[in-house]
Amino acid sequence: MNAGSILILPGDGIGPEVMAEVRRIISWYGDKRGLEFEVSEDLVGGAAYDVHGVPLADETMEKAQGVDAVLLGAVGGPKYDDLDFSVKPERGLLRLRKEMDLYANLRPAQCFDALADFSSLKREVVAGLDIMIVRELTSGVYFGEPRGIFEENGERVGINTQRYTESEIARVARSAFELARKRGNKVCSMEKANVMESGILWREVVQKVHDEEYPDVELSHMYADAGGMQLTRWPKQFDVIVTDNLFGDLLSDVAAMLTGSLGMLPSASLGAPMANGRPKALYEPVHGSAPDITGQGKANPIACILSFAMALRYSFDQGEEADRLEKAVEKVLADGVRTPDLLNEEGKTPASTRDMGDAILAALDASL
């Protein structure tokens, strides 16, 4: 069965290494579950700059617009630090998000029982944690105008503008409420309405969407700085958190470390439905390109693999197969397989990137 089309953009650093394990799992689903994906591959980030002189070629952007899902590894690295801002590797990722209009960034923070002692927080605080942060991704301070570095009164001034429209806030709020209905039916909206006009508007619009369309979902509001504090005090009080681009960037990284390793965390960036009813979508691990371990077989592929699980769930309507893959990862961790980022025992030999892929494939075989 033709399950859909995927564009793979491995990117830079450890991106190609972790994506290689995802490709093996995609092949497993074709061989063992009859889910045949039409897979193509292209360049993004520094890898694209090296070939095309830009971090994302127009032809690649066109491909991304035409597939059911884009899977991205990582972008960036010290090799590109001195490039002009307009062609830095990260601009390729930002262009994908902006031109595909991927306005809702879903970042789950889940702590597997096998890793509860690996978090810097106490086991009882993080064991069983399962929260979802929904971050607005295509507006706010990262895109607002005016922006730049200017001369003013004899000195340089850096300016970034926080800007949101009602419609931009409303659509990401709807995404959060819809997700909550399938989870714990609870949303906490975070902003800074005490000091920012954009925060006042954010709170008002989220409340209006709730009252008119989702009165069955429990809604609370919290200032974003207090939200960061509460995430480290008692994160299990939350189910779905919805917030703007800047605060979402910060809060999702805080939530990421509750689980013990950035190498564990996937993400999905979703947009409006296409003609086939599927949302435009990009899936990527939360971690960066990790140039310090590139090419050494030390990278943890789980975040990238779980990003594919999110693609199965949100782009291909394969919820049961997404569950299968997530349970395979959970079993491997319970069996004690650990890449270096998950190893806190002296004398134990860590699993390589390939070893972790082998173990997850074996767990998938065992699930049949």
277: left (phi over 0), alpha (psi -120 to 50) or beta: left
- Do the annotations mark residue 289 as ligand-binding? yes
- Do the annotations mark residue 89 as ligand-binding? yes
Q: Reduced to 3 states, what is the DSSP secondary structure of residue 88?
A: coil
Asked if 225 is an active-site residue, the reply is yes
Asked if 142 is an active-site residue, the reply is yes
- Do the annotations mark residue 153 as ligand-binding? no
Catalytic residue among 29, 49, 103, 142, which? 142
- Do the annotations mark residue 337 as ligand-binding? no
- Do the annotations mark residue 180 as ligand-binding? no
Q: H helices within the chain, ranges in order? A: 15-33, 46-52, 58-66, 89-99, 123-126, 166-181, 197-213, 224-233, 245-258, 302-314, 319-334, 353-366
- Do the annotations mark residue 186 as ligand-binding? no
- Do the annotations mark residue 294 as ligand-binding? yes
Neighbours of 151 (CB within 10 A): 8
Catalytic residue among 42, 68, 249, 341, which? 249
Asked if 208 is an active-site residue, the reply is no
236: left (phi over 0), alpha (psi -120 to 50) or beta: alpha
Catalytic residue among 225, 317, 323, 358, which? 225
Neighbours of 30 (CB within 10 A): 14
Catalytic residue among 164, 192, 280, 341, which? 192
- The residues that bridge with 157 in the sheet, in sequence order, are 150
Report the half-sphere exposure of 248 (CA within 13 A, side-chain side): 30
- Do the annotations mark residue 148 as ligand-binding? no
Catalytic residue among 130, 253, 317, 358, which? 253
Evaluate whether 285 touches 307 at the Cβ level (below 8 Å): yes
- Do the annotations mark residue 2 as ligand-binding? no
- Do the annotations mark residue 151 as ligand-binding? no
- The residues that bridge with 241 in the sheet, in sequence order, are 133, 188
- Do the annotations mark residue 156 as ligand-binding? no
- Do the annotations mark residue 216 as ligand-binding? no
- Do the annotations mark residue 293 as ligand-binding? yes
Asked if 335 is an active-site residue, the reply is no
* Cα gap 235→226, rounded to integer Å: 12
Evaluate whether 276 touches 139 at the Cβ level (below 8 Å): no
* Cα gap 91→75, rounded to integer Å: 9
- Do the annotations mark residue 84 as ligand-binding? yes
- Do the annotations mark residue 318 as ligand-binding? no
Binding positions for Mg(2+) are 225, 249, 253
Catalytic residues: 142, 192, 225, 249, 253
Binding positions are 77-90, 97, 107, 135, 225, 249, 253, 288-300
Binding positions for substrate are 97, 107, 135, 225
Binding positions for NAD(+) are 77-90, 288-300
